[in-house]
Structure 1
Amino acid sequence: MKYKFPVHCPSCSKTLTVTELSCGNCDTRIVGNYTLPILMQLTAEDQEFILQFFLSSGSLKEMSVQTGKSYPTVRNRLDDMIAHIKELEQK
């Protein structure tokens, strides 16, 4: 079974932070309070959209063909994600 990396608190829905990193080889542990990278704060669906955008060489026209959605729909989705990422950067 493949587990999904949790990004939001199941109790209050706020973004989680990383508090410990460890090495599976030598058991070294680093403890602190680290913010998740912005791309990891996105939903799995948004991360998949970005991956497809990257794999299509940034061609929204190609993504439109691949997803079967209109170009304006894909463009609007990208614009919404850009706005959301800008909000995350300001936090």
Structure 2
Amino acid sequence: MPKYRLAKCPVCGGNLKVIKYQCEECGTEITGNFELEDFARLTDQQLIFLKTFIKTRGNLSELQKELGISYPTAKARLEEVAIALGYESEEVDNREKTLEILEKIEKGDITPEEAKEILKKYKK
């Protein structure tokens, strides 16, 4: 059974750093203070989800069947992976857009009816 990467300390849960690489062929060793790439920081569950997402070519219906999860769970896990990879939460982004629209209404830049139409476009 292959040994996979560790991203978290098994004792305290802190982040681990790679400090040594060794060539399997010639034994050359490189030491330093290396950062883990983004995908190495994902949990095993997140990696399984991501692999399944790619396997199903992003088709959430197929992904749901394969993993035996509901649509809301699939969406939540996708959001979790996106956040773990450093992308902003869609919820935060939508909240910010909503606040911007409300400010425009307050300033008189747009009418409530126009705001309603703009918000409908965000929901799609």
Structure 1 and Structure 2 fold alike (TM over 0.5): yes
Answer 1 or 2: which has greater strand percent.
1
CA 12–68 in structure 1, closer or farther in 2 if over 3 Å, else same: closer
Give 1:33's aligned amino acid: N
Report the counterpart of residue 15 of structure 1 in structure 2.
Answer: 15
CA distance in 2, matches of 1:63, 1:72: 12
The answer to whether 1:75 aligns with 2:79 is no
Shift of residue 80 of structure 1? 2.0
Distance 2:83 2:16 in 1: 21
**Partner amino acid for 1:16?**
L
Aligned ranges 1:1-91 → 2 under 5 Å: 1-86=1-86
C-alpha deviation, 1:17, in angstroms: 0.8
Report if the CA contact (8 A) 2:18-2:35 is conserved.
yes
Segments of structure 2 that go 5 or more residues without pairing to the other structure are 88-124
Q: RCO greater where, 1 or 2, for CA within 8 Å and sep 6 or more? A: 1
Q: Deviations over 1:10-55 (max 9, x none)?
A: 3331111111111111111111110111111111111111011111
**Larger radius of gyration between Structure 1 and Structure 2:** 2
Mapped to 1, the partners of 2:20 and 2:80 lie a distance apart of: 32
Runs of 5+ in structure 1 lacking a partner? none
Larger helix percent: 2
| AA matched with 1:30 | I
Question: Aligned letter for 1:39?
Answer: F
Q: Which runs of 4+ in 1 moved over 4 A?
A: none
Letter in 2 for 1:18: V
Q: TM-score scaled by structure 2?
A: 0.63
Q: How many residues align?
A: 87
Identity of aligned residues (%): 31
